[in-house]
Copies of this chain bind each other. A is one copy, B any other.
Amino acid sequence: MTTRTSTDGARDIPEATVARLPVYLRALVTLADQGTTTCSSEELATAAGVNSAKLRKDLSYLGSYGTRGVGYDVEYLRYQIARQIGVTQDWPVVIVGIGNLGHALANFSGFRSRGFRVVALLDADEHRHGETVAGVDVRPFDDLDRMVREHGVAIGVIATPAAAAQDVADRMVACGIRSILNFAPIVLAVPDDVDVRKVDLSIELQILAYHEQRKANGADAVVPSVVPESVEQGSTARGGAA
């Protein structure tokens, strides 16, 4: 392995920063679409929903792409961020599980516009085979291997029910996929060198519910602390929640 030869100062970008770069990228695209050619860190930060100190700190990990006293060139910064994230190149993606969610994902324009190309739709249910979604045929799950090889797929999306997800992940890993976006509500077990990101709809709602409950209970107890009989403590647990 040769030493890296990046031309900018970027070495290790903190995870929190990596997660915000796509937000900045989107804000820059919006600004460009509006005809804005230059923006300050303050303007870009507002568009991205963060404060300007954080924005400048984040951008400083990429290099020095602004001009003091002036701001940032929108197109230039946009390109630099896109390059760092890797969305200047083409990413072939496979989606497994073509239910409602799989359909939504296959049709999602935000993928294509950012270099993600859905090259295969796979489903274990043969009733779905032959259907075409967003111009791509739905094929048997067993075609995974071939699709990954033929198209050089590096990213897999799992949109199956929870019960099937681990199996799908195992097969993806066996095919050489090392980046997985998982929509199934289950913790996947994968080797260390495989990245899994999880999108969990019910967890997001539960986090909202927690905060909503706190808002609603400003004038009252945290929660009605009645332990229903069905969950009364087992032998090891202590006194009730009076």
| B-binding residues in A (CB < 8 A) | 1-2, 4-8, 10, 13, 18-19, 21-23, 25-27, 37-38, 47-49, 64-65, 67, 70-73, 75-76, 78-80, 83-89, 91, 93, 99-101, 103-105, 107-108, 110-111, 113-116, 154-155, 157, 178-181, 185, 187, 193, 195, 197, 199-213, 215-223, 225, 227-228, 231-238, 241-242
Contact = CB atoms under 8 A, between A and B. Distances in A.
A134 to B, nearest CB: 10
A200 B18 CA distance: 14
Contacts of A78: 231
A93 B205 contact: yes
A82 to B, nearest CB: 9
- Number of identical protomers: 2
Nearest to A208: B179
B223 A108 contact: no
Given A75-B234, A201-B110, A83 B181 contact: no
Contacts of A115: 209
Contacts of A110: 185, 201-202
Nearest to A48: B187
Contacts of A218: 1
A195 B212 contact: yes
A239 B116 CA distance: 30
Contact of A209 (B100, B103, B155, B212): B155
Contact of A38 (B154, B220, B234): B234
Contacts of A195: 208, 211-212
A200 B111 CA distance: 11
Contacts of A79: 227-228, 231
